[in-house]
């Protein structure tokens, strides 16, 4: 079955990035020269999505504006003959790709609630969820992570959550899957799952396979979100609803190919900026000597 819709929850408060997120949505923070939201929207188009649904909130219209046409700016660039910049702008709203819709989440009642807000636009079909915080970089020769997952879904027809191995001491920072078979073979991509555990202590963690912000879900998850119990602060957790899918369908962890940066965290965000800048030869040339200087100054890793 084709997956046509990608849901992008962007209604969170972004408190870890205050004060900038007081007036600028976290999803507009730039990595090199594009906002976080642009990376996931492009990933959605690369996976053949026909529509992207932003689950937004008050004060975040700038996210929709970013993908709107800008006739004045385009005419100014045309007049200056700035063809390359013009092409970059036009790529934001390429003709022939899908449309961007938006719905509102009236209060930040959790990721599960944000996904539920998109129900009417998604309809009764499988859909993707992408969290803009998780920037996943893939080599040009490698399909994007959502593309990889859409292909895996065609094969399995069951819900998928992206997972990656994390250091076992870090499991209390993630949702972690409980694999049916605890012997994970090297190179195995699809891991059948019998449960998901939120932030387990390392000693209690059923695996070190952490859930990352890419999902393909079947529409029965909406009823489970609607009827599931509320957690602290009335929050509706996506993880709980995915667990509740398990008696009626298989759920797989998908070990993706790509490098993930946690851009919801200040250090992860800086790492993304550095790594993606270093991929651009013209930036690398000036950055590397600077980084070497910094390393010498700070005395290498752990120095100071
Ligand atoms: P996070 O919990 O990482 O984002 O949610 P946050 O709450 O905005 O950030 P902090 O922790 O306060 O710094 C992951 C994604 O889910 C969205 C967020 O916008 C982010 O893209 N989200 C979260 C919603 O859309 N609604 C919610 O109620 C919660």
pLDDT band at 241 (very low <50, low <70, confident <90, very high): very high
Asked if residue 304 has pLDDT above 60, the reply is no
From the alpha carbon of 108, which atom of ligand 1 is closest?
28
Round to the nearest angstrom and report the end-to-end CA distance of the chain: 55
Do 21 and 74 belong to one domain? yes
Do 145 and 288 belong to one domain? no
From the alpha carbon of 113, which atom of ligand 1 is closest?
28
- Residue 204 domain-assigned (yes or no): no
- Residue 202 domain-assigned (yes or no): no
Tokens of 173: 């920072």
Span of 36-40, 41-45, 95-99, 181-185 with lowest mean pLDDT: 95-99
- Residue 172 domain-assigned (yes or no): no
From the alpha carbon of 56, which atom of ligand 1 is closest?
25
- Residue 194 domain-assigned (yes or no): no
Q: Kindly state if the Cβ of 16 falls inside 6 Å of ligand 1.
A: yes
- pLDDT tens digits, 168-188: 999 999 999 999 988 888 889
- Residue 214 domain-assigned (yes or no): yes
Domain range for 121: 5-163+180-188+209-264
Q: Kindly state if the Cβ of 133 falls inside 6 Å of ligand 1.
A: yes
* Nearby residues of 142 by Cβ (< 8 Å), 6 or more positions away: 257, 258
- Residue whose CA is at the smallest distance from ligand 1 atom 9: 14
Among 264, 266, 267, the mutation site with the greatest number of ligand 1 atoms within 8 A of its Cβ is: 264
- pLDDT tens digits, 129-171: 999 999 999 999 999 999 999 999 999 899 999 999 999 999 9
Do 14 and 144 belong to one domain? yes
Cα separation, 4 vs 212, in Å, equals: 21
State if pTM tops 0.85.
Answer: yes
- Residue 173 domain-assigned (yes or no): no
> 245 near 218, Cβ under 8 Å?
yes
Find the length of the chain: 304
Do 19 and 135 belong to one domain? yes
Do 55 and 130 belong to one domain? yes
> What's the number of domains the chain is made of?
2
193 C-beta neighbours (distance < 10 Å), count = 26
Do 109 and 217 belong to one domain? yes
- DSSP E strands in 49-186: the ranges are 51-56, 99-104, 127-130, 134-137, 159-165, 175-179
Q: Kindly state if the Cβ of 14 falls inside 6 Å of ligand 1.
A: yes
Cα–Cα distances (Å) from 173 to 46, 50, 275, in that order, read: 30, 33, 23
From the alpha carbon of 132, which atom of ligand 1 is closest?
21
- Residue 284 domain-assigned (yes or no): yes
- Residue 9 domain-assigned (yes or no): yes
Span of 176-185, 217-226, 272-281 with lowest mean pLDDT: 176-185
Tell how far the Cα of 2 is from the centroid of ligand 1, in angstroms: 28
Query: What is the CATH classification number for the domain harbouring 60?
Result: 3.90.550.10
Do 214 and 85 belong to one domain? yes
């Amino acid at each position: 079955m084709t997956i046509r819709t990608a849901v992008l929850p962007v209604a969170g408060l972004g408190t870890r990035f205050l004060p900038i997120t007081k007036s600028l949505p976290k999803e507009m923070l730039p990595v090199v020269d594009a906002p976080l939201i642009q990376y996931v929207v492009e990933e959605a188009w690369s996976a053949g999505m026909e529509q992207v649904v932003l689950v937004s909130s008050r004060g975040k219209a700038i996210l929709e504006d970013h993908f709107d046409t800008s006739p004045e700016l385009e005419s100014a660039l045309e007049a200056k003959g700035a063809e390359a910049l013009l092409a970059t702008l036009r790529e934001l709203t390429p003709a022939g790709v899908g449309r961007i819709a938006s719905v509102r989440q009236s209060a930040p009642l959790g990721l599960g609630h944000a996904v539920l807000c998109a129900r009417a636009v998604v309809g009764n079909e499988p859909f993707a969820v992408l969290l803009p915080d998780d920037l996943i970089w893939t080599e040009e020769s490698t399909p994007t992570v959502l593309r990889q997952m859409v292909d895996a879904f065609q094969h399995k027809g069951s819900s998928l959550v992206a997972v990656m191995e994390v250091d076992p001491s870090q499991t209390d920072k993630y949702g972690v899957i409980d694999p049916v078979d605890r012997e994970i073979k090297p190179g195995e991509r699809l891991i059948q799952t019998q449960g998901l555990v939120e932030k387990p202590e390392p000693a209690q963690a059923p695996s070190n396979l952490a859930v990352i912000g890419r999902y393909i879900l079947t529409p029965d998850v909406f009823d489970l979100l609607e009827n599931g119990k509320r957690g602290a602060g009335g929050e509706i957790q996506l993880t709980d609803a995915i667990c509740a899918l398990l008696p009626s369908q298989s759920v797989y962890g998908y070990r993706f190919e790509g490098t993930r940066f946690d851009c919801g965290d200040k250090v992860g965000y800086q790492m993304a900026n550095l790594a993606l800048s270093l991929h651009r030869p013209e930036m690398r040339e000036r950055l590397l000597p600077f980084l070497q200087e910094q390393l010498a100054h700070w005395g290498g890793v752990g120095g100071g």
